[in-house]
């Protein structure tokens, strides 16, 4: 059945390294969201795209984070350089064009920055 996929599922890296997380939204879904989940802050919206165009990235630290959708089947979230405070689970979610549809979440990427 259709689901959002994310790679890698786990990533351990050292401070200062570049990290790239990938998301494949459900086929036909044209709105893609990136969230970060931590114990302290809960689920935070980082950025989202509609029809591959960024609609809002105000939740994202601009100096080190970047999000793109090279094509309709791939969304990427990049951190450069990574810092220990970036350690979290990063979720991608997608939904269809109509508003208020269910956001389908991927399984997440657990990032640990040492």
Partner 1 sequence: GENVEQHPSTLSVQEGDSAVIKCTYSDSASNYFPWYKQELGKGPQLIIDIRSNVGEKKDQRIAVTLNKTAKHFSLHITETQPEDSAVYFCAASIGSGYALNFGKGTSLLVTP
Q: Which residue stretch of 11-19, 21-29, 45-53, 77-85 sits at the interface with partner 1 (rule: CB under 8 A)? A: 45-53
C-alpha to C-alpha distance for 81 and 103, rounded to whole angstroms = 30
Neighbouring C-beta atoms of residue 35, cutoff 10 Å: 22
C-alpha to C-alpha distance for 77 and 68, rounded to whole angstroms = 7
Instruction: List the one residue from 45, 57, 64, 87 that touches partner 1 (CB under 8 A).
Output: 45
Q: Which of residues 59-98 bind partner 1 (CB under 8 A)?
A: 91, 93, 95
> Considering CB under 8 A, how many residues would be counted as binding partner 1?
23
Q: Which residue stretch of 11-19, 31-39, 63-71, 76-84 sits at the interface with partner 1 (rule: CB under 8 A)? A: 31-39
Q: Which two tokens stand for residue 21?
A: 């997380």
| C-alpha to C-alpha distances, 42 to 50, 67, 90, nearest whole angstrom | 24, 20, 11
Residue 83 or 97 with smaller CB distance to partner 1: 97
What secondary structure letter does DSSP report for 15? T
> Site residues (CB under 8 A) for partner 1?
4, 31, 33, 35, 42-45, 48, 50, 55-56, 91, 93, 95, 99-100, 102-103, 105-108
């Amino acid at each position: 059945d259709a689901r959002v996929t994310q790679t890698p599922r786990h990533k351990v890296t050292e401070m200062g390294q570049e990290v790239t997380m990938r998301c494949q939204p459900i086929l036909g879904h044209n709105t893609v969201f990136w969230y970060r989940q931590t114990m302290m802050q809960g689920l935070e919206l980082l950025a989202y795209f509609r029809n591959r165009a960024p609609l809002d990235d105000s939740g994202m630290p601009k100096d080190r984070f970047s999000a793109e959708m090279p094509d309709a089947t791939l969304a990427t979230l990049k951190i450069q350089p990574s810092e220990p405070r970036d350690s979290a689970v990063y979720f991608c979610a997608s939904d269809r064009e109509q508003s208020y549809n269910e956001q389908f979440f991927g399984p997440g990427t657990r990032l640990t920055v040492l």
